[in-house]
Structure 1
Amino acid sequence: MMRFVLAMLVALFAGSFGALAQDQEPLHITITDGVIEPLPFAIAGFIPETPDAADVAAQLTQVVSSDLSGTGLFREIPKSAYIQNIAKFDTPVNYSDWQAINAQALVVGSVAMSGGKVVVKFRLFDVFSGQQMGEGQQLAASPGSWRRLAHKVSDVIYSRITGEGPYFDSRVVFVSESGPKNARQKRLAVMDYDGANVTYLTDASTIVLAPRFSRDGTRVLYTTFETGFPRIKMLDVATASARLLPDVPGTMTFAPRFSPDGKKVVYSLEQNGNTDLWMMDIASGQTQRLTTSPSIETSPSFSPDGSRIVFESDRSGTQQLYIMSTGGGDATRISFGDGRYSTPVWSPRGDMIAFTKQNSGRFHIGVMRTDGSEERLLTSSFLDEGPTWSPNGRVIMFTRETPGAQGEAALYSVDISGRNLKKVPTPGPASDPAWSPLLP
């Protein structure tokens, strides 16, 4: 896989344009669980400063617009409504012209080709207070990495206005599917968070399931059936080389996940009809059994600090969610609503757990606090399952499958408030998404 070379070069153009209105609060979106009116924003184009930058400038403008509008928190004002024409990056902003069309935020940028790299400059303005928001910035990357530059620009804008962490400059590993439903072929693929730049990591010669990124985004764990039984394999994302992790003959291993420090793997091991959670040290291959219940324990997920694990178990008679120490021992049940709970995943923020819920013939993606309180269902359909968190803990991506013989799996995302449900574009049917951390 191509390694991107991206460097933040310099902060520039600090300061404000125009006087700060004394009665105007700084621009900021307060995100709640209620309905939010999208914030109107304008992009005065990323102006090409060299003749060979025109195409990249237009493409970069489109990606930044799509990133922001796609959150459901922002609404771009059509360029046909613009009054001021900003033809140069350093053109003073006429705030009254942008106030007249109700723009609350304004992005001004430029693109140049210099030294074999794409160089992007941009500034963000709070229109109604008449000031620049933070410092302007300059970014540079190889021409093939222009989309990452666009996502980084979007991340800065998003974070400055919402006060939340970024997530656009990230990737998603997933299972790409093809063929008829009763003989579906599956292979691992990785893409940008928005479905662009798809790269295949494995072929379709064997079934693969449940890929999971390491916290640094360099490795992926997944379940493979290449030996005839489920085994855990670890893949290097940059080279697509992979190796099977050690196992015990006569057992099946599956549902793996990296520890936050990337040194261990927690997973399910089935032996003699019983499935328990185990931990493996990757370097030494040494293993530790974490559960000894005569039930099925699976889908483990670490807390961000690595001190606890949430998992699903049917020890109470139905699938429910439990939390225990990373070292094993007693577990505390946290799910008590109607129905069955599965595939829990700890939020990167550490405050919530996402899960799949099956109840009354419907599947849901939901979230709850780590003590089981404040459960909220975000989706409902014939089959929704397998949530994964964006790097900032704001958005959840999952698999949705349609019913019937022609039914297909697809990837969807939803805000943790339950708003902005949308399909994620993929080349064909897709399932089992796992979000990467922010790219370096």
Structure 2
Amino acid sequence: MMTLMRSAGTRHTASQVHPQTRRFSGIRAQVRRVKFGAGLRALAFTFAALVLGALPARAALQIDITQGNVDPLPIAIPGFLGASDEDRRLGSDIASVIAANLDRSGLFRPLPKSSFIEKISDVNVQPRFGDWRIINAQALVTGRSTIESDGRLKVEFRLWDVYAEQQMTGFQFFTTPDNWRRVAHIISDAVYERLTGEEGYFDTRIVYVSESGPKNRRVKRLAIMDQDGHNPRMLTNGSSIVLTPRFSPSNQEITYLSYAGNNPRVYLLDLETGQQEVVGDFPGMTFSPRFSPDGQKIVMSLQRGGNSNIYEMDLRTRVTQRLTNTAAIDTGPSYAPDGDRIAFESDRGGSQQIYVMNADGSNAHRISFGDGRYATPVWSPRGDLIAFTKLHKGRFLIGVMRPDGTGERILTEGFHNEAPTWSPNGRVLMFFRESRGEQGGPSLWSVDLTGYNERPVSTPTFASDPAWSPRLR
């Protein structure tokens, strides 16, 4: 048993996770139900996977995520088996990515391979559970990877409850070999979900602003990568400054601000086609565009007449509606996940604070009342918390509070922390931290809701303004 924090205060057992269907992007996948001693029947889909739980009975392994104390679950992840050297190399890489994902979550402690007693030799044979209990493994992941005669990569895995001596779940995947890392992320999500009862967040991407060059002449380009920092690629060429990229709920589009021709405009970029379009030409400055939960609208801040107010644009009609009308600076809007409310920052009360209003602009009210200035509010995908940046006594802090302003908690602080973004399951925040000095620059970091699991996120250049995608389908 391990205890972890979850704000919803719900206890989950492994058997409470239900079968569900997930859609892949860019992968031709064939997934089979894998159950010890059972026949295998293939269900083939194009760009789709049918995911079925394989628990034969109620498992004893349970993770209680209602507490604030983190006691990571010991889990063993041997290298996946393979018939050839290439198969085994891929299998070792897949297992390493799974272990790294689970370790970064702070909820799991992958055991060192040097401690393993049993050497797994057949994924279709039950492990010697006693050998794994001796090293205190509570869960075990076994698997096999094979390059088939037609060139496809076949990967199968099983998750075992060591103490109950039961298989908890198992899948097979068929894809191209270059998708091996994506398969590892999908398996990581399956393990995470089966053992915590929450959705995983590993099969996701991060869009961010890549920064290079001297501090006074920074080239800023839009970039995208996997959530663990791998597979980075540039989306813009650096000919104009880009700011505040944000994902559409559909994953396929990004909205961002570009200063092409020294004229700030809001753009939409289709990730599948590479096509981009201008949302609209707005007089004055435009700030912080963000999608509505249904992807049909964009909310942003427009500067007109010396002050800044919040506007909403319907992407289907391109009609713009003004939501706030004050002589103050209203900016940084973020929708609640149900789309009914918007959090934003404003200095209408004399200092920079966080406010919440209805989606039509009515009933705006302040929710931040602690010491210091508050900015960059971002609503959690679960709807239970709002993340923020806080400036107090020269320090930049990243924290969370409930939508009514109660329960404020600081998760991390530093010289310059800013721009939190939520993982799609609402458990982890990513943000950027500026380092001091002439040679310094921004870098990406993550921290979970306990505030104890803070990690750097590797990028090939300086990086700022991260935005986390929804789960890929």
Pair 1:353-2:347 in alignment? no
Distance 2:61 2:190 in 1: 14
Matched residue, 1:215? 249
Q: How far off its partner does 1:77 sit?
A: 1.6
Residue 308 (structure 1) aligned to one of 341, 344, 347: 341
Distance 1:201 1:357 in 2: 31
Matched residue, 2:27? 5
Matched residue, 1:294? 327
Q: How far off its partner does 1:139 sit?
A: 1.7
Runs (5+) with no aligned partner, structure 2: 1-23, 39-54
Aligned length: 432
Distance 1:373 1:279 in 2: 28
Distance 2:405 2:445 in 1: 25
Equivalent position amino acid for 2:279 in 1? L
The 3-state SS of whatever aligns with 1:75 is strand
Q: How far off its partner does 1:336 sit?
A: 0.7
Q: How far off its partner does 1:70 sit?
A: 1.4
| 8 Å Cα contact 1:15-1:132 kept in structure 2 | no
Distance 1:382 1:277 in 2: 29
Equivalent position amino acid for 2:172 in 1? Q
Q: Deviations over 1:381-407 (max 9, x none)?
A: 010000000011110000100122222
Pair 1:148-2:182 in alignment? yes
Distance 1:306 1:268 in 2: 17
Q: Deviations over 1:153-196 (max 9, x none)?
A: 01111111111111000000000000111111100000000000
Q: How far off its partner does 1:230 sit?
A: 2.0
| Pair 1:33–1:210, CA change in 2 (3 A) | farther
Runs (5+) with no aligned partner, structure 1: none
Pair 1:419-2:441 in alignment? no
| 8 Å Cα contact 1:28-1:163 kept in structure 2 | no
Q: How far off its partner does 1:46 sit?
A: 0.9
The 3-state SS of whatever aligns with 1:96 is helix
| 8 Å Cα contact 2:59-2:164 kept in structure 1 | yes
| 8 Å Cα contact 1:4-1:145 kept in structure 2 | no
Q: How far off its partner does 1:33 sit?
A: 5.3
Equivalent position amino acid for 2:161 in 1? D
Distance 2:30 2:449 in 1: 31
Q: How far off its partner does 1:51 sit?
A: 5.7
The 3-state SS of whatever aligns with 2:262 is coil
Residue 399 (structure 1) aligned to one of 406, 413, 432: 432
Matched residue, 1:47? 81
Percent identical among aligned pairs is: 50
Pair 1:93-2:127 in alignment? yes
Distance 2:435 2:265 in 1: 28
Distance 1:78 1:52 in 2: 23
The 3-state SS of whatever aligns with 1:44 is coil
The 3-state SS of whatever aligns with 2:194 is helix
Pair 1:197-2:204 in alignment? no
Equivalent position amino acid for 1:435 in 2? W
Residue 107 (structure 1) aligned to one of 141, 150, 156: 141
Q: How far off its partner does 1:14 sit?
A: 5.5
Distance 2:400 2:25 in 1: 35
Pair 1:77-2:124 in alignment? no
Pair 1:377-2:393 in alignment? no
Q: How far off its partner does 1:335 sit?
A: 0.7
The 3-state SS of whatever aligns with 1:423 is strand
Q: How far off its partner does 1:85 sit?
A: 1.5
Mean CA deviation greater in 336-345 or 321-330: 321-330
Q: How far off its partner does 1:203 sit?
A: 0.9
Distance 1:85 1:352 in 2: 45
| 8 Å Cα contact 2:209-2:220 kept in structure 1 | yes
Distance 1:424 1:8 in 2: 32
Mean CA deviation greater in 170-179 or 227-236: 227-236
Residue 129 (structure 1) aligned to one of 164, 168, 178: 164
RMSD in angstroms over aligned alpha carbons? Answer: 1.9
| Pair 1:367–1:8, CA change in 2 (3 A) | farther
Q: Deviations over 1:315-338 (max 9, x none)?
A: 001111111111112202111111
Pair 1:437-2:466 in alignment? no
Q: How far off its partner does 1:313 sit?
A: 0.6
Distance 1:82 1:143 in 2: 28
Matched residue, 1:343? 376
Pair 1:275-2:297 in alignment? no
Q: How far off its partner does 1:15 sit?
A: 7.8
Q: How far off its partner does 1:6 sit?
A: 4.3
Distance 1:247 1:182 in 2: 28
| 8 Å Cα contact 1:247-1:253 kept in structure 2 | no
Distance 1:366 1:298 in 2: 19
| 8 Å Cα contact 2:429-2:447 kept in structure 1 | yes
The 3-state SS of whatever aligns with 2:99 is helix
Q: How far off its partner does 1:341 sit?
A: 0.6
Q: How far off its partner does 1:35 sit?
A: 3.1
Matched residue, 1:120? 155
**TM-score for both structures, normalised by structure 2:** 0.88
Matched residue, 1:325? 358
Matched residue, 1:366? 399
Q: How far off its partner does 1:264 sit?
A: 0.8
| 8 Å Cα contact 2:25-2:472 kept in structure 1 | no
